[in-house]
Amino acid sequence: MDITRRTATLLGAGLLGSAALSPAFALDGPLSDIVAGRDDFWTGVEAYIYGYPLVTMEMTRRVVTNVAEPKGTRAPMGHLIKLREYPNASFRDVTAPNADTLYTTAFVDVGSEPWVFAYPDMGERYFLFPMLDGWTNVFQVPGSRTTGEGAKTVAITGPGWSGTLPEGVVEYKSPTNIVWLLGRIYCEGTPEDYAAVHKLQDACKLQPLSTWGKTYTPPAGKVDPSIDMKTAVREQVNRMTATEYFTLLCELMKTNPPAPADAPAIEKFASIGIVPGQDFDKSKFDPAFEKRLPDLAFDRIMMHFKFSDGDVQSVNGWGFTTKTGLYGTNYIQRALITAIGLGANRPQDAVYPTSLKDGGGVFSRSYNGSEDYVLTFKKGQLPPVKGFWSITMYNDQYFFVENPINRYSISARQDLKSNPDGSVDILIQHKSPGKDKESNWLPAPKDKFYLMMRLYWPDESDPTILNGSWIIPPVVKSK
Domain boundary among 285, 303, 321: 303
40 occurs within a structural domain: yes
Is the domain of 201 the same as that of 245?
no
Residue 388 dihedral angles phi and psi, to the nearest 5°: -160, 165
- How far apart are alpha carbons 342 and 362 in whole angstroms? 31
SS percent in the chain: helix, strand, coil, step 5: 30, 20, 50
Q: What is the mean pLDDT of the chain?
A: 90
At residue 28, the pLDDT reads: 41
At residue 30, the pLDDT reads: 46
- How far apart are alpha carbons 433 and 439 in whole angstroms? 10
Question: Is the whole-model pTM more than 0.75?
Answer: yes
326 occurs within a structural domain: no
At residue 479, the pLDDT reads: 53
114 contacts: CB under 8 Å, gap ≥ 6: 155, 156, 157, 158, 161, 163, 165, 171, 208, 209
Is the domain of 291 the same as that of 351?
no
Beta bridge partners of 409: 392
Range of the domain at 431: 336-477
What residue type is 14 in one-letter code?
G
314 occurs within a structural domain: no
pLDDT tens digit sequence for 87-145:
889 887 777 889 999 999 999 999 999 999 999 999 999 999 999 999 999 999 999 99
- How far apart are alpha carbons 408 and 451 in whole angstroms? 10
Residue 475 dihedral angles phi and psi, to the nearest 5°: -100, 120
At residue 398, the pLDDT reads: 87
Q: Do 300 and 6 meet the contact criterion of CB atoms below 8 Å apart?
A: no
Average pLDDT over residues 151-167: 96
CATH of the domain at 358: 2.60.120.600
43 occurs within a structural domain: yes
Angle (nearest 5°) at CA 235 between 158 and 288: 95
Domain boundary among 178, 211, 244: 211
Is the domain of 34 the same as that of 99?
no
Is the domain of 110 the same as that of 201?
yes
235 contacts: CB under 8 Å, gap ≥ 6: none
pLDDT tens digit sequence for 183-219:
999 999 999 999 999 999 999 999 999 999 999 999 9
pLDDT reading at 64 higher than 50: yes
pLDDT tens digit sequence for 5-37:
445 444 443 443 333 323 233 334 444 455 445
Is the domain of 406 the same as that of 441?
yes
329 occurs within a structural domain: no
* CA-based nearest residue to 388, from 220, 159, 166, 143: 143
Tally of CA atoms within 13 A in the half-sphere of 346 that contains its CB: 19
What residue type is 476 in one-letter code?
V
The proportion of the chain whose per-residue pLDDT surpasses 70, expressed as a percent, equals 91
Is the domain of 13 the same as that of 104?
no
Domain boundary among 260, 283, 303: 303
- How far apart are alpha carbons 167 and 146 in whole angstroms? 21
Higher pLDDT, 29 or 154: 154
Residue 313 dihedral angles phi and psi, to the nearest 5°: -110, 160
* pLDDT band at residue 472 using 50, 70 and 90 as cut-offs: confident
CB neighbours of residue 356 within 10 Å: 17
The DSSP secondary structure of 201-235, one letter per residue, reads: HHT-EEEEGGGTTS---PPPP---TTS-SSS-HHH
Average pLDDT over residues 261-266: 98
Q: Do 296 and 11 meet the contact criterion of CB atoms below 8 Å apart?
A: yes
How many domains does the chain divide into? Answer: 3
Is the domain of 14 the same as that of 35?
yes
Is the domain of 273 the same as that of 163?
no
Is the domain of 344 the same as that of 467?
yes
- How far apart are alpha carbons 167 and 362 in whole angstroms? 61
**Cβ density class 40-54: b for 16+ within 10 Å, e for less:** ebbbbbbbbbbbbbb
225 occurs within a structural domain: no
Q: Do 385 and 186 meet the contact criterion of CB atoms below 8 Å apart?
A: no
Is 260 in a helix, a strand, or coil?
A: helix
Q: Do 78 and 106 meet the contact criterion of CB atoms below 8 Å apart?
A: yes
Is the domain of 207 the same as that of 238?
no
CATH of the domain at 138: 2.60.40.1610
Beta bridge partners of 258: none
What residue type is 249 in one-letter code?
L
Output the CA–CA distances (angstroms, integers) from residue 119 to 96, 123, 130, 322, 418, in the order listed.
27, 12, 13, 28, 38
* pLDDT band at residue 3 using 50, 70 and 90 as cut-offs: low
220 occurs within a structural domain: no
Higher pLDDT, 208 or 365: 208
41 contacts: CB under 8 Å, gap ≥ 6: 33, 34, 286, 289, 293
At residue 6, the pLDDT reads: 46
Is the domain of 181 the same as that of 263?
no
16 contacts: CB under 8 Å, gap ≥ 6: 31, 35
Residue 272 dihedral angles phi and psi, to the nearest 5°: -115, 20
* CA-based nearest residue to 174, from 129, 108, 128, 119: 108
Is the domain of 250 the same as that of 368?
no
322 occurs within a structural domain: no
Q: Which of 4-18, 174-188, 353-367, 378-392 bottoms out in mean pLDDT, i.e. has the lowest?
A: 4-18
Bond before 458 cis per omega within 30 degrees:
no
Higher pLDDT, 314 or 325: 325
- How far apart are alpha carbons 360 and 302 in whole angstroms? 21
